[in-house]
Amino acid sequence: MSLAGDVAMAAVFLVLVGLLAARMYGEPLELVGQVTVNDGDTITIAGQRIRLWGIDAPELSQTCRGEGGDYACGRRARDALRELVAGRPVSCTWREHDRYGRLLGICRAGDVDLNARLVEEGWVVAFGGYAHEERQAREARRGLWAGEFDRPRDWRETHGGMAEAEHFGPGLMSALLEWLRIF
Residues recognised as catalytic: 51, 59, 102
- Burial category of 67 from C-beta neighbours within 10 Å (exposed 0-12, middle 13-18, buried 19 and up): exposed
Contact 64, 57 (CB under 8 A): no
Report the amino acid identity of residue 45. I
Task: Give the SS3 label for residue 160.
Answer: coil
- Looking only at the bridges linking them, the beta strands covering 90-97 and 103-109 are antiparallel
